[in-house]
């Protein structure tokens, strides 16, 4: 089972241990704000006003990251990232952490935790060329 990490723990893993933050939120959510350095590979896509599963999620992720890559998966409040972590673990990824509080805050091991956005950690906006869904979906 993947370890669950707070936003501060996620940031430390990124800075000290070479982890990559994979933001599994929608393109629109990512564009509005995301952890600095995050890569956007959405688990769900917005189509006709509804969220639908992204059929290219796993292919895009596995095309960019090997099963040994150190990854932190995060979303808005922990639900999508938990599903994505489970999917990756079933596919043989073993160095994956779940940012349970995500961007907006969520339920963690000790109750409700603030998300990345509320912690004062570094934030980016927009669609960085090498880290945007448009450049990664292949």
Hey, where are the domains in the chain? 3-118+125-136
Contact of 50 with 76, CB cutoff 8 Å: no
Helix (H, G, I), strand (E, B) or coil at 53: strand
Does position 82 have pLDDT exceeding 90, yes or no?
yes
Q: Is the predicted pLDDT of residue 67 greater than 70, yes or no? A: yes
**Does the pLDDT of residue 111 top 70, yes or no?**
yes
| Segment 18-39 mean pLDDT | 96
pLDDT band at 109, cuts 50/70/90?
Answer: low
**Among residues 22, 38, 75, 88, which one is catalytic?**
75
Average pLDDT, the chain: 92
pLDDT bin (cut points 50, 70, 90) of residue 69 is very high
Q: Name, in order, each residue with C-beta under 8 angstroms of 91's C-beta and a sequence gap of 6 or more.
A: 58, 62, 67
- Count CA atoms closer than 13 A to 84's CA, side-chain side: 36
Q: What is the DSSP string of the chain?
A: -PEEE-HHHHHHHHHHH--EEEE-S-HHHHHH-EETT-EE--SEEEETTEEEE-TTHHHHHHHHS-TTS-EEEE-SSSHHHHHHHHHHHHTT--SEEEETTTTT-EEETTEEE--HHHHT--EE-S--GGGSHHHH--
pLDDT at 78 > cutoff 90:
no
Per-residue pLDDT at 80 exceeds 80: yes
Mean pLDDT of 1-25: 94
111 noted as active-site residue? no
Closest CA to 57 of 86, 98, 31: 86
pLDDT of 110 > 80? The answer is no
pLDDT at 1 over 70: no
Domain 3-118+125-136: give its CATH code: 3.40.250.10
| Residue 6 pLDDT grade (very low, low, confident, very high; cuts 50, 70, 90) | very high
């Amino acid at each position: 089972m993947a370890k669950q990490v707070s936003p501060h723990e996620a940031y430390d893993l990124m800075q000290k241990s070479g982890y990559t933050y994979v933001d599994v939120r929608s393109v629109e959510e990512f564009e509005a704000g995301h952890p600095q350095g995050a890569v956007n590979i959405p688990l769900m896509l917005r189509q006709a006003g509804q969220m639908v599963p992204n059929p290219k999620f796993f292919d895009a992720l596995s095309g960019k990251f090997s099963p040994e890559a150190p990854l932190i998966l995060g979303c808005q409040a922990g639900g999508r990232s938990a599903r994505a972590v489970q999917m990756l673990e079933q596919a043989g990824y073993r160095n994956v952490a779940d940012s349970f509080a995500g961007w907006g805050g969520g339920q963690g091991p000790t109750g409700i935790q603030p998300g990345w956005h509320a912690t004062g950690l570094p934030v980016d906006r927009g669609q960085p060329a090498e880290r945007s869904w448009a450049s990664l979906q292949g």
